[in-house]
Amino acid sequence: MLNGYKIIDADSHVIEPPQMWAKYLDPKFKDFTPSLDMKIKGETITEKISQQVQQEGNKQMMQAYPHAYLNHYNPESHVQAMVQMGVDIAFIYPTYGLWLCAIDTLPPEVIGAFTRAYNTWLYEEFCSYDPEKLKGVGAINLHAPEEMVKELHRIANWGWKAVFLRPNPVKGRILSDLDYEPFWTACEALNIAVGIHEGTHSHLPTTGADRFNTRFALHACSHPMENMMAMLALIEGGVLERHPRLRVGFLESGCGWLPYWLWRLDEEYKNLYWEVKELVKLMPSEYFQRQCYIAIEPSEPYLSDIIEYLGSENLIFGSDYPHMDHQPDIVKNIVELENKLSQGTVKKIVWDNPRRFFDILPPRESGDS
């Protein structure tokens, strides 16, 4: 809690200890166990990430949270960082797992082994340290659609409330591919939220990666543009139409692109609705308002305009702890938005809206709106 606000961090990260993959990976796939420097059979799990970027990233992370850095970002240090920031509940996404589960050239069964290993470790060793504060977000193997529902049920049985997907095409499939339809059906039936989370420097088709080489350019393109494509896929492919109770969140890309994108899609729909009317029966902006959420950045200068245009019911907050893009004062800055947006709006962003997104709605509390 900070300045009277209870706070849900909808996008926090672990730094997986390299040795955990050997411990939890199915023995059948031991030849694919990542080395301590996170290579598979001598090949890096990332691309187009320079040594300079890696060194600067490590430097920034060490300076921001030296205790967590020196303790290899173990769960105790994660909870301590949450207390330091003022965060009450954190939903946990991977770091290396964002890359490992996205190597398009690896066999689907290998990605499945990485997925199961990560989820098991996160459940048994990390979130179990303080399950009231540390909430796992499950990895799902988009490379093998036939495995997705089984893993979804496994994590649902743990009481987890969310999974994450990469927005990029995987094995040539976008998110609206009909091979994924059983997964969307199961998410809706199990009341599992889906966070769409990009990861720069991965071995997947990524907007901008065919044109640029610097992290400056790659990171600027990847997160917002891939989220835009993912949102379009879910709308144009009829996923949101077929699954009206499905909840989807778009993370770590800011929200400034959203009003333009919804305006653009609405304009295209007005002119071309006849082309997609069997799958898209509402205006694209109506689908977003009905069942989508987006994580804001407190430094975005147009937040009040976006709220005036779209309202505040679909906005959530993620810290991106402890990545190099994370700012240690981000929670302080989000709370200080009360001076621009009102206390009620900030409360929605940091508590009420993420509670609805993740479906963690305890009994009404005094002062709840």
User: For the domain that residue 114 is a member of, what is the CATH number?
Assistant: 3.20.20.140
In a domain, 367, yes or no: no
HSE-up of 125 (CA within 13 Å, CB side)?
A: 17
Q: Which of 117, 20, 13, 5 has its CA nearest to residue 57?
A: 13
What does the pLDDT read at residue 367? 44
| CA dihedral over 285, 287, 291, 294, signed as positive or negative | negative
Q: Range of 12's domain?
A: 8-358
79: exposed, middle or buried (Cβ count in 10 Å: 0-12, 13-18, 19+): middle
Q: Which residues contact 282 (CB under 8 A, 6 or more apart)?
A: 241, 290
The two three-digit tokens of residue 313, written as one number? 């019911």
- Whole-model pTM: value is 0.95
Please give the full DSSP string across 184-197, using - where no structure is assigned: HHHHHHHT-EEEE-
Name the domain count of the chain: 1
What does the pLDDT read at residue 362? 61
For the chain, give the mean pLDDT.
Answer: 96
What does the pLDDT read at residue 130? 98
The distance of Cα 85 from the centroid of its chain, to the nearest Å, equals 20
In a domain, 41, yes or no: yes
In a domain, 39, yes or no: yes
What does the pLDDT read at residue 59? 94
In a domain, 312, yes or no: yes
In a domain, 122, yes or no: yes
Q: Are 107 and 131 in contact (CB under 8 A)?
A: no
In a domain, 364, yes or no: no
Looking at the chain, how many residues does it have?
A: 369
- Rounded CA-CA distance 101/90 in Å is 22
Spans of the chain below 70 pLDDT: 361-369
Q: Is there a cis peptide before residue 322, judged by omega within 30 degrees of 0? A: yes
SS (H, E, C) 303-348: HHHHHHHHCCCCEEECCCCCCCCCCCCHHHHHHCCHHHHCHHHHHH
In a domain, 368, yes or no: no
